[in-house]
Amino acid sequence: MDQTAAFSPLAATHRSRHRARTWPLALALLAPSLILLTAFTYWPIIGVTLRSLTQQRFGQQPQWGTDNYARLFADPHFITAAQNTVVYAIGTIGPSLALALAFALALRETGRLTALLRTILVMPLLIPLVAAAALFVFIFLPGGGLLDWHLAKFGIAATNWLGDPDLALGAVIAITIWKNTGYYMLFFLAGLAGIPEEYHEAAKIDGAGAATRFRRITLPLLGPTIGFVSVIALVNVLVQIDHVIVMTGGGPSDSTNMILYYIYQQAEQNMDAGLASAATVVCVGALLALAVIGLRTLERGIHYES
């Protein structure tokens, strides 16, 4: 005991000298990542936040304040874009995740047929969103489009899918579900592969049916995957805007205008950087809040089930 106590100061000195020699190397190894993060993540965030608090009129000095946020929430176009984004999120995230999970459960077994079906479902992921939007424009073309051509066989009149304010957002939601379902299915297939088969075998021995095994075993153990995919889906709601530009341009009557497209309009068309920055801060803040709430909720549910 006395010998250990005698050598403990020497060991502490050795550890401190070792840290002093290794921290410059660690800092040098981390420097490229830190520089890139600062240049392309942290500094843009700081710049957008400062710009959202700055209002500059022509020929006058910049003024600090929250006028940009006041103008933002008083703008009916922003309110419409926010409402459309919420409807778009509800209409795409839920169905996309449900279909992706259903397909993953149906195709989890490896075989020639399942491999072919997986490939077919993942193919939309390989098509650029702009090209997919151009394809759907042809499908939704009123009168001569592929959809109206098939519906005419059942006596249904031609419909202006992209020109009707009540239907245009639904058409945009349809292409998003078609494009993202296969992508999310890949994550669920990976999550299902990580669930030990012994759990299902033990449940079968106890007499649990397929629905009970899904509710008590598969769904709780897929919690982290569901949380991860949900965050990705939330991000896609905000950043996937190419199809809106190609298919509708935010119209008709702002019925398909989204927050990201609103930010583009203010920054590039109206040259109002302050308003665009304020909308960006609000958008990113709402996204972070929803992501944190969703992940915390799923974590509590996983702990309860375990």
Q: Tell me what pLDDT residue 306 has.
A: 43
Residue-averaged pLDDT of the chain: 83
Calpha distance 185→75 (Å, rounded): 39
Q: Tell me what pLDDT residue 48 has.
A: 86
Distances (CA, A) of 237 to 48, 172, 196: 21, 11, 33
Number of neighbours of residue 28 by Cβ within 10 angstroms: 9
Closest to 178 (Cα-Cα) out of 121, 137, 102, 114? 121
Q: Tell me what pLDDT residue 6 has.
A: 46
Virtual CA dihedral for 220, 224, 227, 229, nearest 10 degrees? -110
Write out pLDDT tens, residues 208-249.
788 888 888 888 888 888 888 988 898 888 888 888 998 988
Write out pLDDT tens, residues 142-156.
877 888 888 888 888
Q: Tell me what pLDDT residue 298 has.
A: 65
Displacement of CA 283 from its chain's centroid (Å): 13
Q: Which helix (H) or strand (E) holds 29?
A: helix 2-37
The tokens describing 81, both together, are: 């874009």
Pick the CATH number of 76-305 from 2.60.40.420, 2.60.120.260, 1.10.3720.10, 2.60.40.10: 1.10.3720.10
Residue 285 has pLDDT above 80, yes or no: yes
Write out pLDDT tens, residues 46-56.
888 888 888 76
Q: Tell me what pLDDT residue 53 has.
A: 85
Residue 81 has pLDDT above 60, yes or no: yes
The pTM score is 0.81
262 by Cβ neighbours in 10 Å (0-12 / 13-18 / 19+) ranks as: buried
Residue 153 main-chain phi, psi, to 5 deg = -65, -20
Calpha distance 173→87 (Å, rounded): 9
For the chain, give every domain's residue range. 2-52, 76-305
What is the sign, positive or negative, of the torsion defined by CA atoms of 85, 258, 80, 248? negative
Calpha distance 39→170 (Å, rounded): 39
Range with the poorest average pLDDT among 26-35, 165-174, 259-268:
26-35
Residue 222 main-chain phi, psi, to 5 deg = -85, 5
Q: Tell me what pLDDT residue 89 has.
A: 92
